[in-house]
C-alpha cells in the first residue's frame, strides 16, 4: 500500500531565493534525484512554495511505500545530492522542529496516471 504525507515548514524570509536556486539545481540533476527516490522507495516528491500573510512556507507532498522508512533513510551520507539537500533545508527552514504535517483523509490515483507530469 502506498502512503502519503504532506508537510509544511516556514522558510526564513531572506533565504527564499537560496531555496529556489537549490530546487532549480535539483531539477537539472534529475537522474540523481530519481536514484535517491528509488533507493528510499519514494514514488512521488513534490515541493511547493506557499506565500501567506504569515510568511513563505515550503510544502512537501510525498508518496512512498513506507513514509517513516523513507524519512529514516534520508539523507544518504554517501549521496552528495542528499547531503546538499539536507544542508540547504537546514539552512533555509525556520526552526527545523516546527514542521507541520497534515492528516491524509483520502488518496486515490487513476490507473491512467502518467509516470510524470508533462
- In this structure, whether the domain defined by 3-101 belongs to CATH 3.40.50.300 is answered with no
> Measured between alpha carbons, how far is residue 20 from residues 41, 46, 78, 112, 116 in Å?
25, 14, 24, 31, 21
Alpha-carbon span 16 to 108, nearest angstrom: 32
Q: Which cell is 5 given? A: 504525507
Share of the chain above pLDDT 70, in %: 95
pLDDT confidence band for 88 (50 / 70 / 90): very high
The full set of domain ranges for the chain reads 3-101
C-alpha cell at 23: 530546487
Q: Give the pTM.
A: 0.85
Rounded alpha-carbon distances, angstroms, from residue 12 to 9, 45, 50, 76, 99: 10, 22, 13, 25, 13
- For residue range 43-71, what is the model confidence (pLDDT) as tens digits? 999 999 999 999 999 999 999 999 999 98
Amino acid at each position: 500500500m502506498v502512503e502519503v504525507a504532506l508537510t509544511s515548514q516556514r522558510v526564513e524570509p531572506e533565504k527564499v531565493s537560496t531555496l529556489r536556486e537549490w530546487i532549480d539545481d535539483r531539477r537539472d540533476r534529475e537522474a540523481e534525484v530519481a536514484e535517491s527516490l528509488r533507493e528510499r522507495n519514494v514514488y512521488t516528491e513534490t515541493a511547493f512554495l506557499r506565500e501567506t500573510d504569515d510568511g513563505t512556507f515550503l510544502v512537501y507532498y510525498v508518496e512512498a511505500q513506507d513514509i517513516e522508512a523513507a524519512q529514516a533513510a534520508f539523507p544518504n551520507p554517501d549521496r552528495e545530492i542528499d547531503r546538499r539537500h539536507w544542508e540547504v533545508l537546514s539552512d533555509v527552514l525556520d526552526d527545523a522542529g516546527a514542521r507541520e504535517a497534515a492528516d491524509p483523509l483520502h488518496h486515490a490515483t487513476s490507473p491512467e496516471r502518467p509516470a510524470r507530469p508533462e
